Amino acid sequence: MIKRVTVKKNERGLLLRNGDFERVLQPGTHWLFAGLDQLQVELFAIGAPAFVHPLTDYLLAKEPAVVEAEFVRVELNANQVGLRSENGVLVELLPPDTRRLYWKGLVDVRVEVIDLASSIELSPALTARLLQTQLRPRSITGLAGALQVVVPEHGAGLLWVDGKVERLLGAGSFAFWKFNRNVSVDLVDLRLQAVEVTGQEILTRDKVALRLNLSATWRYSDVLSAYKALAKPAEHLYRELQFGLRAAVGTRSLDELLENKGVIDEVVTAQVKAKLAALGLELTSVGVKDIVLPGEMKTILAQVVEAGKSAEANVIRRREETAATRSLLNTAKVMEDNPVALRLKELETLERVAERIDKISVFGGLDQVLNGLVKLR
């Protein structure tokens, strides 16, 4: 009929008589008179301050004095978030509509209540604390309720709240409450970007199939305008470059394109740049990397080029032969009227012949050699 119970200094006891709450037992030895009742004592280690028990709602509703004396009371409504700290260290983010009790005595439990209606964004100090959780020995519970974003220096962040663009985020660290709303952030690279349009098969005006590869560079000029007007700006840019390339090639013949390859760059730039300016995109450069002709067209063009070069070579050969003949004729006229010039030419010829002969035997003197080679009339 008498029950002895010992509660340690780091414990608290919950006395139940016939299953109903009677009181909280403090540290020490307790002599409990049971009589005809059934007594039950549940011991709790207050080093883990969270009080998880089916009697939580009963204590909150019917035992305010007990709750005030023994527990830290937390009751959040639908528009409130709690920041629970233990001994000054943040350990948990409490979601809206939370009702909990935490033991007093061993761990200093404090709960800071934040109104979600006042601001969707966490303060910079709290954001920094959340981002440093990986460096702490104990992680923070409930981080899924906050969206953490780090925007790099060369980028920007597009904040979406319930499907609407809220604002543009600059470089830095940000955090936003996800409770009671749908929050997301799209990171956008503001640096110069490249896009490749490859393998485009297009017919020219004279029905020649060409395969072209185009390269372009672009950047965002107005991120908000781009994402308000376009679901995927990069894909829209790719399609516009395709259309511009077809407009430039399809309206010109093969000869026109081969004579002026830069016309494709000029036409694509003029057509696409004007369309993108109103959409927050800036096209900085466009260039055709390759123009691939069909196999049979390559052979035909090679034959045309070969024939043209052969004709040019023939013209040059005939011109040189004519000039050489004219020079010989002029030389002959000079020698006909001047025997001394003819003798000099003979000596020059003899010098050339002598260069190719290893040994010469001369009889009758040098005059005999000259007269023997060429006789003047």
Least confident of 193-197, 208-212, 273-277, 281-285: 208-212
Q: Is the pTM of this model over 0.75?
A: no
Task: Give percent of the chain with pLDDT exceeding 70.
Answer: 84
pLDDT tens string 70-126: 999 999 999 999 999 999 888 999 999 999 999 998 999 999 999 998 888 998 888
Strands of the 39-45 sheet, one edge to the other: 20-25, 11-17, 39-45
CA distances to 35, 37, 222 from 3, in Å: 10, 11, 78
Question: 359 pLDDT band (50/70/90 cuts)?
Answer: low
| Positive/negative CA dihedral, 170, 175, 181, 183 | positive
pLDDT tens string 213-236: 889 999 999 999 898 888 889 999
Long-range contacts of 245-251 (CB under 8 A, 24+ apart): 245/197, 245/200, 245/202, 245/212, 245/214, 246/200, 246/202, 247/271, 249/202, 249/203, 249/204, 249/210, 249/212, 250/202, 250/203, 250/204, 250/205, 251/205
Question: 305 pLDDT band (50/70/90 cuts)?
Answer: low
The DSSP H or E segment spanning 197 is strand 193-203
Q: What secondary structure does DSSP assign to 314-359, as a single string? A: HHHHHHHHHHHHHHHHHHHHHHHH-HHHHHHHHHHHHHHHHHT-S-
pLDDT for residue 376: 42
Q: Is residue 169 within 8 Å of residue 190, measured between CB atoms? A: no
d(CA 102, CA 48): 9
Task: Give percent of the chain with pLDDT exceeding 90.
Answer: 41
Burial 227-259 (b: 16+ CB within 10 A, else e): beebeebeebbeebbbebbebbbeebebeebee
**154 phi and psi angles, rounded to 5 deg:** -90, 10
Q: Which of 44, 40, 41 is CA-nearest to residue 10?
A: 44
Average pLDDT over all residues of the chain = 84
d(CA 369, CA 100): 134
Q: What secondary structure does DSSP assign to 206-269, as a single string? A: TS-EEEEEEEEEEEES-HHHHHHH-S-HHHHHHHHHHHHHHHHHHTS-HHHHHH-THHHHHHHH
Q: Is residue 103 within 8 Å of residue 71, measured between CB atoms? A: yes
Instruction: Tally Cβ neighbours within 10 Å of residue 291.
Output: 15
d(CA 264, CA 267): 5
Q: In angstroms, how far is CA 104 from the centroid of its own chain?
A: 52
Set out the domains of the chain in order of their start, with CATH numbers: 1-45 (no CATH), 48-187 (no CATH), 193-293 (3.30.479.30), 338-377 (no CATH)
pLDDT for residue 360: 62
